[in-house]
Structure 1
Amino acid sequence: MVLAVGDTFVTDVPLSAVERAFSLGAALALVARLRMPVVTLLASLPGLYLGSAWLAGLIALYTVSRLRPNRVLLAVCTLLVMIAYYLPYPLEMASVGERNERLVWLESALGAPIAALALGRAVALRGELAVRLKELTEGRSREDRLLAQQVLAAERTQLAREMHDVVAHQVSLISLQAGALRVSSVDPMARETADTIRTLSVRTLDELRHMVGVLRAGGAGSVERRPQPRLSDLPRLIAESALEVDADICDQACASCPEGVERAAFRIVQEALTNVRKHAPGAKVRVCLRREGNELQVEIRNAAPLHGAAPLDLPSGGHGLIGLTERVHLLGGFFSAGPDDAGGFVVRATLPVS
């Protein structure tokens, strides 16, 4: 707009007050060119014809070309600008004939409006192409995500199938052997042990089927979610651990704990007892769980393994303590695990409950 106002003062012919007013009005009308481009163009035509608002008329035509793609409208607006620029003021046949004889007037009247029209359409097409390119890029990204999800679903299904085939077969054999031992044994202790093994095997198979269902469904909500373990399940976990455990668990320690805190505490005790069975057979274990202010303190301490007892050769991924550390840190707590001075091992965790 500033350039358009300055252009009205660049003229070799002195302008009257009326002509100067129309020229400045045409330049100032450009303020509304983005909201009302056609009205702005029509408002600039008197200044273009009577005065020297040449640049204002071209800017208005450029704006109409960029914002209004209607071909008929563009042709009419371009023709109006050409006529307003070409015809002299005041309109006299002698002046018209003089301009007809000079090709520079005709070239200016045709070339400048056409250039403004072409530039407006080029900018508009560039914007449309940018929008189309963005849509294509987003569409390609969506396709890539869908493809990745399909590949993940296929791998998850294959993993579920292999896990079911391998683990379920072995656990089924364990359950059958335990059942046969329970029937054939006359020792009450052996029968009770075989019955425990069979019960745990059946429960493991049940949990395995549930996990396979979750994997095959990809975590979809259609799969029934089972209740997650809470601290109230700790007595059952300790009883099934087949370890000599001295439990010091406060019943009111987690009366108002969030579910995530209870689940984390349960998993910490579960992993610690599993590690004792693997690496310290025959060792005594002490499980302590208490509430101190807004923190839940969990400690599992085992003594040194019995002399001459060989550790169980059980498969292990070596990520149990790492997973517990990440779980506790996500809850904003602290976790430590390491040997003590007596040759045992201590696992401690502090979980905020507020």
Structure 2
Amino acid sequence: MKASSARVRWACLITPVLLGLVDALLVHGRDVGPGMAAGLVAAVVLAARRRRPTVVFLATLPGLYLGYVWFAPLIALYTVASTRRGHWRLAVAGVLFAVAHFVPYPVAELAAHSPRETALAVIDTCGAVAVPLALGLLARTRAELVAGLAALQSSRAAERQLLAEQVAAGERARLAREMHDVVAHQVGLISMQAGALELTTDDPQAQERARTIRELSARTLDELRHMVGVLRGTDGGRARPGPRPRLEDVSRMIGQSGLDVAYRNEIPEDTRLSTGVERAAYRTVQEALTNARRYAPAARVHVVLALEGDGRTLRIEVRNGPSAPGEVPPCGSGGGHGLVGLKERAHDVGGTLEARPTSDCGFLVSALLPVG
């Protein structure tokens, strides 16, 4: 496509020059003189007609007056009309063209013309001036209409985008209301019931579990409040940042999961990870443990964090075996949105994620994330 456009530009540049040269050679043949020189100069300067249309037009007038060439002055006058604004400029160019076309060389031959020949010459001159001016004005008007249409389409596209943003903002506000009214209420009740259980029971193990539930509920409410603020878009970027999960929080999350987990962290302590990568890694382990609890209760889970590729890639692997015989999943089947969200998180930080069943009827979630 670029090569084709370049050929078209070169053709538009060279073709007028060639027409002017052929015109000068046909008019003068082998008669080398001022007329031939003026005609050749008029043809050659057409190469710069787009950059300096007025100067090129003035340079072609001697060729019209001395050499009786037509193509170069007509093309130059058309270029002035199609690229330059201002009626006075076009009027001056038209008058100069008419004078150079009407007055013969030498000027003494003008007195020898009869009135009829003079009238015909005036009519011919007017036609010669009007045609390139009209075509040039038409081309410029068309270009302005095309530019106006493009601007109108761009304005409509911006208007559609603004409308879509307004609709999205309204939808985010609705989702924020639903999340706050439903989820926050339910999580608050869970936290309250867990606190009551912790105070009323005498079983130390039950108290520990109730304390864990209350802490998880409080943390969930903090994250929920942050997400509601983001969805509403009312904080102006000044709201307190939400909890930032880090890799060192993975071990605590595993301890609170209530699953039989074998955890191995092979990442050196001095490894620096970006915030997005740490968040994606934490959420990957969190979602994988949630799925293991949902679909394979009482199954043993293996969690591995390691570096690969000379320390440039973080590997996250969560593998669970089949559910223990007789165990019934505590939750219904999900919609698969969790794994989709994990793949989107990995893609956002430049990584990949794989989720598939294993040969022993278990499940594997494996992610590769760039360290930088």
TM-score by length of 2: 0.81
- Is the deviation greater in 139-148 or in 5-14? 5-14
Cα RMSD for the two superposed structures: 3.3
Which of 112, 129, 138 does residue 154 from structure 2 map onto? Answer: 138
| 1:43 shift after superposition | 3.2
Hey, what's the Cα distance between the residues in 1 that align with 2:346 and 2:114?
Answer: 92
Q: Distance in 2 between matches of 1:28 and 1:289?
A: 73
Q: Which residue of 2 aligns with 1:69?
A: 85
Following superposition, the deviation at residue 336 of structure 1 comes to 4.3
1:301-343 CA-partner distances (Å, limit 9, x unpaired): 44443443321125733233344355556644563432443x5
Residues 338 and 345 of structure 1 are in contact (CA less than 8 Å); yes or no, is this contact kept in structure 2? yes
Structural mapping, 1:171-320, within 5 Å:
171-217=187-233, 221-226=237-242, 228-250=244-266, 252=268, 255-291=271-307, 294=311, 296-314=314-332, 316-320=334-338
Secondary structure of the residue that 2:164 maps to in structure 1? helix
Between the aligned partners of 2:307 and 2:57, the Cα distance in structure 1 is 78
Instruction: Give yes or no for contact 1:153–1:218 (8 Å, CA) kept in 2.
Output: no
Q: 1:115 to 1:297 in 2, by over 3 A?
A: closer
- Answer with 57-66 or 302-311: which moved more: 302-311
Match of 2:354 in 1: 335
The aligned counterpart of 1:81 is: 97
Range that drifts further, 278-287 or 201-210: 278-287
Q: Which moved more, 1:6-15 or 1:314-323?
A: 6-15
Q: For structure 1, which runs of at least 5 residues remain unmatched after alignment?
A: none
Once the two structures are superposed, residues 158-184 of structure 1 have per-residue CA deviations (whole angstroms, 9 ceiling, x without a partner) of 111111111111112222222332333
SS of the residue aligned with 1:288?
Answer: strand
CA distance in structure 2 between the aligned counterparts of 1:352 and 1:41, rounded to whole angstroms:
62
Contact (CA 8 Å) 1:85, 1:109: kept in 2 or not? yes
- How far residue 256 of structure 1 moved from its aligned partner, in angstroms, is 4.3
Q: How does 1:108-147 map to 2 (within 5 A)?
A: 108-147=124-163
Gaps of 5+ in 2: 1-16
Normalising by structure 1, we get a TM-score of: 0.84
Q: What amino acid is the match of 1:44? A: T
2:179 matched residue in structure 1: 163
Tell me, what secondary structure is at the counterpart of 1:247? strand
SS of structure 2 residue aligned to 1:320: helix
Given the superposition, is the C-alpha separation of residues 121 and 60 from structure 1 closer, same or farther in structure 2, using an over 3 Å criterion?
A: same
Larger Rg: 1
The number of aligned residues is 353
Question: d(CA) in 1 for partners of 2:234 and 2:84?
Answer: 49
Offset of residue 253 of structure 1: 7.2
Q: Is the 8 A contact 1:99 1:105 kept in 2?
A: no
Aligned twin of 2:12: none
Q: Is the 8 A contact 1:45 1:81 kept in 2?
A: yes
